[in-house]
Structure 1
Amino acid sequence: MKKQLISAILCDIGLYLLQFLLIPAISFKLVTGDHEMIVVLCLTTIIVTMVGVIFFTDRLRHWLLALIIYVLLIFLYSPLYAYDIGVINLTLDGLTARYDPGFRYFGILLIAFLVLFLQSAICLIAKLIRYHQNKQKMKTTGER
C-alpha cells in the first residue's frame, strides 16, 4: 500500500518535472502557445499516468493524494507565462495579454482539474479493462 502510494507520488513529481522544468527548458514556445500547451499538458499527463497505472497502482485514492503534491509543486514554482498560469487574456482581439499574480491561482486550479479528470479517467478505464479480463478468465475456467 505505501509502496503504491509512493509510486503514484513519484509519478506525479516526474510529471511536474517534465511539464514545468524539462519541456519549458527545451522549448518555451510549447508551453505558451494556445493549442500546443493543452496538447503538452494532456499528452504528458496521459503518458505518465498510464505508465503509473500499468506498472504501479490503479487506485484512484493514491493518485488523488499524489495530485496534492503535484499542485503544491506548481504553487512553489511554475515558469512565468507557462501554460498561461496567471495570464489574463479577455480582450476581443486576443493579442493583448497581461500577467496578474492573483489570477495565477485560477490557472493552477484549472490545471489541477484537468489532471484530476485525466487521471480519474485512466484509472477508471484500467479498472474496467481488468474487470473484463477477470470476467473472461472466469468464463474460460468455468468458475463463478
Structure 2
Amino acid sequence: MQEYCRSVRFHSSGILTKKSDVYSFGIVLLELITGRPAIKKSPGISLYIIDWVTPLVERGDIQSIVDSRLRGQLKDSAAWKVVEIAMSCISPSSCKRPNMEGVLSDLKECLRLETGIGYDNYMDNSASLEMPSAELDMAPKPR
C-alpha cells in the first residue's frame, strides 16, 4: 500500500521541503479534480487517492477520474492537463517533481485550454480572480 506522504526526505528528517510542498499540492489538485478525499477510510481499510487514480490514468479513463459535478463544465483536454500536473507533482522521486514555477506555468496552459484565450487576457477580463493585497500579507512564507 502506498503512503499518503512518500517523501523519503520528510520521513527520514521530519523536514518539509519545496518538493514535499509540490507533492502536497499534487494531492490537493487530485482532490479538486476528483472530488474525493486524499484518504477514504472504511472499516479496516484506507484507500489512498493515488492508489485509486493511478489505474484510471493508466487506462485513460478521464470520465471516471473527474468529479461528476464538473462533467460538462470542464473540457476533457483541461481535465487531462490538471491530472497530468497532479501526477507529476506526486512522483515518488522528489527529484522528478516539478518546481512550483513549472506547476504555475502548466496551470496557466490548462486555463488557456479551458477558456481558449491566453492567461494574461483572461486575467484582464476577470475581476473575480483578483485578491486584495492585504490578504497576501497574511499568507505563509514559502519554504
Higher RCO structure, 1 or 2 (CA under 8 Å, sep 6+): 1
| TM-score between the two structures when normalised by the length of structure 1 | 0.27
Question: Which protein shows a greater Rg?
Answer: 1
